């Protein structure tokens, strides 16, 4: 449904997007993750036609978005980062006006406006000026505006930005409902948000795609080879034992109470790291009270992927 | 076409949803009314609206930039430009929609001044010649078209309404000074060319009751050229 190949964008001498590429099949909800300045918004702006890439290909619902931009824009609804709207307009008038611009036929406009107001729970504020509404409602108005032409694809840039926890929960549930029968690409730097909402995650950093997969796959691949052990003994002896038994492993130690240490061991090997760590510590006569594989979340995956890409400078 | 009219309708409505539109109309009508009462209704004078048209032209140099300054600049400043730029419409449709909305506002602003023509007909004997009045209104409309097209271009170039206003107004003032005063101080060949580019000389012709198609083409072609430039400026934002 969305196909991006070797996308490049320069702003003067700054190479903001460097060969980003991904393909999103119909019906998938995908999170675009990245730190601030990673190129997420620039990528989305190129997808939506606000910016033209200097190199690369974009296809949306089979339409070449660079050769036929107007036709391509009929296939998606876009919620920009700041959820812009016209504060002086009543909600209903704004949505009717947007429906006209989005090419909804005059005869269907009233019904479409009623339908999206119902979908986004805006009926109670239909006659109120947008400027008088809370941030959460304004976000919903902007989201409703992106649904008026019943697009196959929804592109949402930081849809929960600036919302309070209750509003975030409501927005998440609304996006979940909308994703039932659409392809959704949602950008965010709020990791739990993406973890809960998306079936697939694309991590973008320095304008490049650094990782791509389901949250579970990414977490699993990051957790592989990681192990946490709590043991007692001299820290130098523990270090020597582990380095000898698991050559090339990375070890971090953290002192606990009464001579106990928490050791985090990462070892890139096919062998079972907790088993090897346990055996090495027992051989060094260090009592072990806890031994488990390292549990990582998407946040850890995100940090590691960025670390790997920047050589630990991120 | 639907998209253009939708944008035009929104733009027209938004000028009345904010105090700016009402203030501009009120000031414009007050000043043109004052000029009519003190300039055209004096006893013993010819029954003509020429003084009103002359002053209204000068007022348009101030009023039209005030109407056009927000057209695109405001969208750029508030981020609503992203909504338009990601919609299935072209930059030309955006520019035309905005321009027509502002033009409709200008027409609504000029319409109440027709009452001056009616009042003049009531108190004058013989009745005023309708030709110069119709030509005068046509000149105001054409000059309004040109001012708003220039203002639309200025508002695509900056997200500051103040800069868009000043840019439009100063261009119109400089244009008038260069084409009206400079011809007297330069060699006749250059002076004639400068005078041919004058909008105020053409407006004077209209006020005398002459509808010269060359003048009509002058205003319409320059307006169209400015709108094409505005479209290019807006489209170039996708490359910046």
Chain A / chain B CB contacts < 8 angstroms: 72
Residue A211, helix vs strand vs coil: strand
To the nearest whole percent, how much of chain A has pLDDT over 90?
A: 36
**Torsion of Cα atoms, B26 then B31 then B32 then B38, to 10°:** 140
Give A129-134's long-range contacts (Cβ < 8 A, gap of 24+).
A129/A87, A129/A88, A129/A89, A129/A90, A129/A91, A130/A85, A130/A86, A130/A87, A130/A88, A130/A89, A130/A90, A130/A91, A130/A94, A131/A87, A131/A88, A133/A91, A134/A167
Please give the pLDDT value at position A25: 92
In order of A6, A290, B32, B103, the CA distances from B109 in angstroms are: 52, 82, 11, 10
Pick from A85, A103, A106: which is nearest to B80 by CB? A85
The residue in chain B having the minimum alpha-carbon distance to the alpha carbon of residue A49 is B86
Region B153-157: mean pLDDT is 96
Spatial distance between the Cα atoms of A96 and A105, rounded to a whole number of angstroms: 11
Spatial distance between the Cα atoms of B219 and B139, rounded to a whole number of angstroms: 9
Spatial distance between the Cα atoms of B217 and B198, rounded to a whole number of angstroms: 13
Please give the pLDDT value at position A223: 63
| Burial readout B221-238 (b: 16 or more C-beta within 10 A, e: otherwise) | ebbeebbebbbebbbebe
Note the ipTM here.
0.83
Tokens 């006749």: give the residue: B188
- Chain A residues touching B10 at Cβ < 8 A: 86, 89, 97
Pick from A50, A70, A84: which is nearest to B78 by CB? A84
Tokens of A76: 């998606």
Q: Does A55 touch chain B (CB under 8 A)?
A: no
Pick from A50, A73, A97: which is nearest to B238 by CB? A50
Q: For chain A, what is the radius of gyration of the CA atoms?
A: 25
pLDDT in tens, B40-85: 777 767 767 777 888 888 899 999 999 999 999 999 999 999 999 9
Region A112-127: mean pLDDT is 90
Flag if A50 and B86 touch (Cβ within 8 Å): yes
Pick from B3, B13, B17: which is nearest to A100 by CB? B3
For CA atoms A29, A35, A36, A37, give the dihedral sign.
Answer: negative
Residue A97, helix vs strand vs coil: helix
Tokens of A30: 């995908």
Residue B1, helix vs strand vs coil: coil
Q: Does B84 touch chain A (CB under 8 A)?
A: yes
Spatial distance between the Cα atoms of A213 and A313, rounded to a whole number of angstroms: 24
Q: Does A42 touch chain B (CB under 8 A)?
A: no
**Residue B123: enclosing H or E segment and its boundaries?**
helix B114-123
Residue B70 near residue A88, CB atoms below 8 Å: no
Please give the pLDDT value at position A189: 76
Flag if B2 and A106 touch (Cβ within 8 Å): yes
Region A21-36: mean pLDDT is 89
- Chain A residues touching B236 at Cβ < 8 A: none
Closest Cα of chain A to B234: distance in Å?
11
Residue B152 near residue B226, CB atoms below 8 Å: yes
Pick from B2, B82, B86: which is nearest to A100 by CB? B2
- Chain B residues touching A103 at Cβ < 8 A: 2-3, 88
pLDDT in tens, B86-115: 999 999 999 999 999 999 999 999 999 888
Tokens of A132: 């008088």
Spatial distance between the Cα atoms of A85 and A95, rounded to a whole number of angstroms: 10
Q: Does A58 touch chain B (CB under 8 A)?
A: no
Spatial distance between the Cα atoms of B106 and B104, rounded to a whole number of angstroms: 5
Please give the pLDDT value at position A236: 87
Q: Does B14 touch chain A (CB under 8 A)?
A: yes
Tokens 């290019």: give the residue: B232
Flag if B2 and A49 touch (Cβ within 8 Å): no
Spatial distance between the Cα atoms of B156 and A255, rounded to a whole number of angstroms: 62
pLDDT in tens, A187-229: 887 777 787 788 899 988 888 888 888 887 877 776 666 788 8
Eight-state DSSP code of residue B129: P
Q: Does B90 touch chain A (CB under 8 A)?
A: yes
């Amino acid at each position: 449904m969305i196909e991006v190949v070797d996308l490049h964008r320069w702003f003067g001498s700054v190479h903001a997007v460097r060969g980003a590429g991904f393909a999103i099949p119909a019906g998938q909800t995908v999170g675009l993750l990245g730190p601030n300045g990673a190129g997420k918004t620039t990528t989305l702006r190129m997808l939506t036609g606000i910016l033209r890439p200097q190199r690369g290909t974009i296809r949306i619902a089979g339409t070449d978005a660079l050769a036929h931009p107007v036709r391509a824009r009929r296939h998606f609804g876009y919620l920009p980062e700041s959820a812009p709207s016209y504060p002086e307009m009543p909600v209903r008038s704004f949505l009717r006006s947007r429906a006209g611009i989005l090419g909804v036929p005059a005869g269907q406009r009233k019904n479409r406006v009623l339908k999206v107001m119902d979908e986004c729970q805006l009926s109670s504020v239909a006659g109120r000026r947008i400027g008088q509404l809370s941030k959460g409602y304004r976000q919903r108005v902007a989201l409703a505006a992106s649904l008026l032409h019943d697009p196959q694809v929804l592109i949402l840039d930081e849809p929960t930005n600036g919302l309070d926890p209750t509003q975030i929960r409501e927005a998440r549930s609304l996006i979940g409902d909308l994703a039932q029968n659409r392809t959704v690409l949602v950008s965010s730097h709020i990791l739990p948000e993406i973890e809960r909402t998306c079936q697939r995650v694309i991590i973008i950093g320095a304008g490049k795609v650094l990782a791509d997969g389901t949250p579970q796959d990414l977490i699993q691949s990051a957790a592989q080879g990681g192990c946490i052990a709590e043991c007692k003994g001299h820290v130098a002896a523990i270090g020597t034992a582990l380095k000898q038994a698991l050559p090339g492993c990375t070890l971090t130690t953290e002192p606990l109470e009464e001579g106990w240490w928490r050791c985090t061991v990462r070892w890139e090997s096919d062998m079972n790291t907790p088993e090897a760590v346990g055996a090495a510590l027992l051989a060094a006569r260090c009592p072990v009270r806890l031994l488990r594989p390292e549990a990582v979340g998407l946040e850890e995956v995100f940090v590691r992927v960025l670390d790997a890409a920047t050589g630990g400078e991120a | 076409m639907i998209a253009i009219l939708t944008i035009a309708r929104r733009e027209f409505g938004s000028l009345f949803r904010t105090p700016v539109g009402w203030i501009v109309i009120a000031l414009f009508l007050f000043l043109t009314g004052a000029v009519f009462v003190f300039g055209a209704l004096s006893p013993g004078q010819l029954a003509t609206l020429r003084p009103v048209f002359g002053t209204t032209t000068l007022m348009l140099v101030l009023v039209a930039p005030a109407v056009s300054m927000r057209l695109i600049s405001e969208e750029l400043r508030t981020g609503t430009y992203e909504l338009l730029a990601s919609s299935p419409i072209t930059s030309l449709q955006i520019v035309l929609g905005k321009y027509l909305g502002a033009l409709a506002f200008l027409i609504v602003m000029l319409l109440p001044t027709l009452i001056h023509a009616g009042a003049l007909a009531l108190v004058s004997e013989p009745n005023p010649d309708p030709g110069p009045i119709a030509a005068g209104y046509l000149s105001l409309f054409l000059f309004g078209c040109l001012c708003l097209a220039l203002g639309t271009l200025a508002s695509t170039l900056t997200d500051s309404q103040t800069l868009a206003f000043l840019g439009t107004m100063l261009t119109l003032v400089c244009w008038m000074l260069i084409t009206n005063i400079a011809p007297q101080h330069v060699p006749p060949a250059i002076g004639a060319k400068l005078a041919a580019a004058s909008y105020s000389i053409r407006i004077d012709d209209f006020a005398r009751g002459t509808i010269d198609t060359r003048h009509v083409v002058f205003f319409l072609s320059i307006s169209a050229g400015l709108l094409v430039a505005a479209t290019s400026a807006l489209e170039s934002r996708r490359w910046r």
